[in-house]
């Protein structure tokens, strides 16, 4: 540094007149300060040999994006290919019996006989329970006797009318009385039928709620009857899919505890939308020959809403959401370019791209965090089978 001061001083002597020694000293001091500052900057600059020798300090690491731009980022890519795809939505629903009823007596009385075994199959019309009907049967017998007497009386009067012994009016009265007694007999028989509980359809009897000897009324549930040879699936879909489903549409569903997908066919739809949820209630029917589908089970219904012949599906890791829009990075001429896309159906590990990509585009699926538009990239194709698994519907 002293040599440098001497050199600067010598130069100043040649430049300035001899009498201006004060100015020379000032100039030498300013030049010395400038040189000292420059030397300090040189010793501390990143990647400087002098800096490493003097302090051993490591230069701050460059950001991955800048390093990638200088050296070429190593990324993994896939080439977009189109394939047929059926777009679906998933709805939640409930499994219901094809026919279901709570069995209750029509009149109040004492339960005297139970003819069914819990959990067994019964036929339509089969007698299941009987209430005390002794009084009604006695009334029926009395009404039958009275009807028979009235019938005999009417025949006698009719014979006398033919002989001119009695007026026609007497026969009319007897015939009317006979008709009234006949109607009374039918009324009591109808009341007797109400003391019996019979199966309205084929099905499986549930657990009984009462025992013989219990006093029951029309509000008392004796047991339940379920027809589960077929089941109904009730589910709701959003308003935008309400017009897609109509009677005859095919859906599939699964239930908890089973990995099977059961087919079902829509046979009825509600003619209105629920005002609170803006959804439409759909009802489908499915076969249940082995009885594995139980009423009340939770159903996960898969509803097909569209069928695409050339769908663009890419791994979900390739799509980034930022500022309210979605984008991917495509490789063009060895550099990355950000491409805005619109997505549709989300699959397990992949996503349907509706606009923004075409067959043959090379999309970055791993390493997008280190690239920007214009970044040089070193694409490595995805291992065979890995993205095939991702793109599996």
pLDDT tens digits in sequence order for the chain, 393 residues long: 444 444 445 544 444 454 455 555 666 666 666 656 565 555 555 544 444 443 444 444 445 545 544 556 787 888 888 888 877 888 999 999 999 999 999 999 999 999 999 999 999 999 999 999 999 999 999 999 999 999 998 888 888 877 777 788 888 888 899 999 999 999 999 999 999 999 999 999 999 999 999 999 999 999 999 999 999 999 999 988 888 888 999 999 999 888 899 999 999 999 999 999 999 999 999 999 888 999 999 999 999 887 777 888 888 888 888 878 898 888 888 888 888 988 887 777 888 888 888 888 888 888 778 888 888 877 776 665 444 334 443
User: What is the per-residue pLDDT for 48?
Assistant: 44
User: What is the per-residue pLDDT for 59?
Assistant: 44
CB 379, CB 76: distance < 8 Å: yes
Q: Quote the CA–CA distance of 322 and 383 in Å, as a whole number.
A: 28
Which 3 state secondary structure label does DSSP give 342?
strand
Q: Quote the CA–CA distance of 313 and 353 in Å, as a whole number.
A: 6
CB atoms within 10 A of CB 15: 11
CB 129, CB 197: distance < 8 Å: yes
Q: Are strands 377-381 and 73-79 parallel, antiparallel or unpaired?
A: parallel
Q: Looking up tokens 């291992």, which residue turns up? A: 383
Q: Quote the CA–CA distance of 222 and 161 in Å, as a whole number.
A: 57
Stated length of the chain:
393
Of the CA atoms within 13 Å of residue 105, those in its CB half-sphere come to: 27
Which 3 state secondary structure label does DSSP give 198?
strand
User: What is the per-residue pLDDT for 291?
Assistant: 87
pTM confidence score: 0.61
**Dmax (CA) of the chain:** 182
Which 3 state secondary structure label does DSSP give 194?
coil
Strand ranges inside 164-297, DSSP E? 196-198, 203-205, 215-216, 223-238, 250-255, 262-269, 279-287
User: What is the per-residue pLDDT for 60?
Assistant: 47
Nearest residue to 119 (alpha-carbon basis) of 225, 228, 231, 229: 225
Nearest residue to 378 (alpha-carbon basis) of 71, 80, 79, 62: 71
CB 377, CB 370: distance < 8 Å: no
User: What is the per-residue pLDDT for 387?
Assistant: 45
């Amino acid at each position: 540094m002293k040599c440098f001061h001497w050199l600067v001083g010598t130069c100043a002597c040649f430049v300035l007149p001899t009498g201006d020694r004060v100015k020379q000293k000032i100039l030498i001091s300013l030049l010395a300060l400038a040189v000292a500052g420059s030397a300090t900057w040189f010793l501390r600059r990143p990647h400087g040999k002098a800096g490493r020798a003097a302090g051993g300090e490591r230069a701050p690491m460059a950001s991955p994006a800048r390093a990638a731009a200088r050296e070429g980022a190593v990324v993994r890519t896939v080439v977009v290919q189109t394939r047929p795809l059926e777009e679906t939505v998933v709805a939640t629903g409930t499994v219901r019996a094809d026919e279901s009823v709570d069995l209750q007596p029509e009149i109040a009385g004492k339960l005297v006989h139970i003819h069914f075994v819990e959990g067994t199959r019964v036929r339509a019309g089969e007698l299941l329970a009987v209430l005390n009907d002794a009084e009604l049967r006695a009334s029926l017998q009395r009404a039958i006797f009275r009807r028979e007497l009235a019938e005999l009386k009417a025949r006698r009067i009719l014979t006398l009318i033919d002989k001119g012994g009695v007026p026609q009016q007497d026969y009319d009265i007897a015939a009317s009385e006979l008709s009234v007694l006949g109607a009374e007999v039918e009324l009591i028989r109808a009341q007797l039928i109400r003391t019996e509980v019979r199966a309205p359809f084929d099905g499986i009897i549930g657990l009984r709620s009462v025992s013989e000897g219990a006093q029951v009324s029309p509000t008392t549930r004796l047991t339940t009857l379920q027809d589960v040879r077929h089941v109904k699936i009730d589910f709701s879909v959003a308003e935008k899919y309400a017009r897609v489903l109509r009677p005859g549409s095919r859906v599939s569903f699964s239930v908890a505890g089973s990995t099977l997908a059961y087919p079902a066919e829509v046979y009825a739809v509600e003619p209105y939308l629920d005002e609170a949820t803006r959804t439409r209630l759909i009802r489908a029917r499915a076969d249940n020959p082995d009885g594995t589908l139980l009423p009340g089970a939770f159903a996960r219904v898969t509803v097909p809403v569209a069928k695409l012949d050339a769908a663009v599906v890419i791994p979900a890791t390739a799509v980034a959401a930022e500022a309210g829009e979605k984008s991917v990075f495509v490789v063009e001429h060895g550099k990355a370019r950000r491409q805005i896309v619109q997505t549709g159906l989300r699959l397990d590990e992949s996503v349907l791209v509706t606009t923004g990509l075409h067959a043959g585009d090379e999309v970055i699926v791993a390493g997008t965090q280190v690239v920007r538009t214009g970044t040089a990239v070193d694409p490595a194709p995805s291992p065979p089978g890995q993205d095939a698994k991702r793109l599996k519907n």
